[in-house]
Amino acid sequence: MSENVRELLVSRKTGESCIHVKHRSGLDIFIREMPGFSTVQALFGTKYGSVNTMFKTAGDAEYTSVPNGIAHFLEHKLFENEECGVFELYARTGAAGNAFTSFDKTCYLFSCTKNYTENLRILLDFVQKPYFTKENVDKEQGIIGQEIRMTNDRPEWRVFFNLLRNMYHEHPVRIDIAGTEESIAQINAELLYKCYDTFYNLNNMVLSIAGNVREDEILKICDELLRPCEDKGLECVFPDEPEEIAAPEIYEKQPVGASLFQLGCKCPPAETGDIKKLMAATVAISIIGDASSEMYGRMLNKGLINSTFGGEIFSGNGYFSAIFSGESAQPEAVRQEIFGEIKRISREGIDEKLFGRIRKSLYGSLIRELNNVGAVANLMINSAMSGFKPFDAIDTVSELTAEDVLRFIRDELREDRFVLSVIERMES
C-alpha cells in the first residue's frame, strides 16, 4: 500500500464519529479528536494474547507451538531497550505509561496532559524495537515466576481460573495468562523473537488515540516512525473444544473473610464481529440478575447474596460465557435460584418494562463513555480487535429487541452447560 486510506466512522444513532486510517505501513489507526479535553490517551496493541499458542504464517511449512505465558513475558521484556527503561523516558515527559496482556491482546499505553506528540514517538519507537538476550530473559523468568505465585494466592483469581478449567477441556483460555512456572522456564530469546516477528507485524496491530489531539500531527509522526510490513498471512489455530463442560463444580478452601463463587455458563463461541450476540447476552444477564428483579430481592432477603452479586459476559476467540459472581455462604442455593429464574423467563417471556429500562441503562452508559478520553481510546482498540466498528455497540443496543434477548436465554443458558466455582471460607 503506497498511500494512507482514510475513512470517517459515524454512529447511525447518535452521529458521533471517529477517524480510521489504514496506514501505508499496514497499521490500523483510530483517532478521536476531543477538543477542550485536557488529557490524551493512546494504546498501541497487537492481536496477541495468552490463547495464541499455536500459529503459522504463509511462509511457514508447519505450525509453531510456544509455551503458555509467552505473550505476557514478551510484554514485560519490550519495556527494556539497550539505552534505558521506557518508564524513565515517560517520566521525563510527565506521562504515565503502562501495558497489559489479556487472553486475546497485548497493549502498550500512555496517558498525559501535555507533550502527547513526544509521548507518541516514545510509544511507537520502543514497541518496534525488541531487545532480548539470554541474560535479561533469565532475569525475567524469576520476576514473572514470583508474579505467578502471588496471583495464585488471590482468591478472586483462583475462583475465576478454577471456573475456566472446569468449563473448557482444551481451549488455552483455561490457562493463566502469565502461564506457569514450568512453562515460562521454556522461554528463550529465540522464541521471543519468533513471536515478536509474527504477531508484532503492523498488519496485526492497532493504534488508538483520543483526547486533545490533531489528526495531522498524529499521522505525521506515524509516517516518520512506522516501518512498512508485509502481511505475513498469520493464522492461529485452537484445539477442538467439546460443547460440554469439563466438570459441573469445583470447591477450594482459602483463608477468605467470606466465601466467593462464580457460576458460569459455557455458550457457543460468537462469530467474529457478532456484536448482536454480545449485546443480547449483556442485557440477558442484567434481566436475570438486576438489583431491581424479584430474584435479586428474594436472594437478598434470604441472606444468599449481598451487594457484590453481579453478572458479566466473558468472550473472545473460541470462547463465550455468561458469569454470575459474588459472595455467598450458600452458592448451591444461589445456583438453584438462577436456574429457576432462567426457566421462568423462558416460560413466561421478558417483562417489556424491565427490558426497556435495562436497555436504556446500557445505552446510556455507552453514551456516557464517549465523554471519557480513556474509555474512548479503549473502545476504539477493543472494537477493532474484535471485528467491530467503534459505535456498533451503541447502534446495536438501540435496535435490540426483547425477542433477541429471550432467544439467547432460551437457546444458550442451559443448565448442563453451567459450572459452579467456589472458594470456601477456611474455618480457623
Q: Rounded to 5 degrees, what angle do the CA atoms 295, 297, 302 make?
A: 95
Residue from 84, 68, 91, 66 nearest 129 by CA = 84
Q: Within a 10 A sphere around the Cβ of 395, how many other Cβ atoms?
A: 17
Residue 155 Cα to chain centre, angstroms: 20
Q: Which of 7, 33, 62, 75 is catalytic?
A: 75
- The SS3 of residue 309 is coil
What pairs with residue 322 in β-bridges? Answer: 265, 313
Alpha-carbon gap, residue 270 to 295, rounded angstroms? 28
Is residue 318 within 8 Å of 164, Cβ to Cβ?
no
DSSP structural state of residue 152: H
The three cell numbers locating residue 256: 477468605
Residue 369 Cα to chain centre, angstroms: 17
Active site residue 332: no
* Amino acid identity for residue 366 in this structure: L
Helix ranges restricted to H, 260-330: 275-289, 294-302
In the block, residue with C-alpha cell 496532559: 113
Alpha-carbon gap, residue 270 to 387, rounded angstroms? 11
The three cell numbers locating residue 149: 505465585
Alpha-carbon gap, residue 109 to 95, rounded angstroms? 10
The string of DSSP codes covering 175-226 is: S-TT--HHHHTT--HHHHHHHHHHHS-GGGEEEEEEES--HHHHHHHHHHHP
Report, as residue numbers or ranges, the catalytic residues: 75
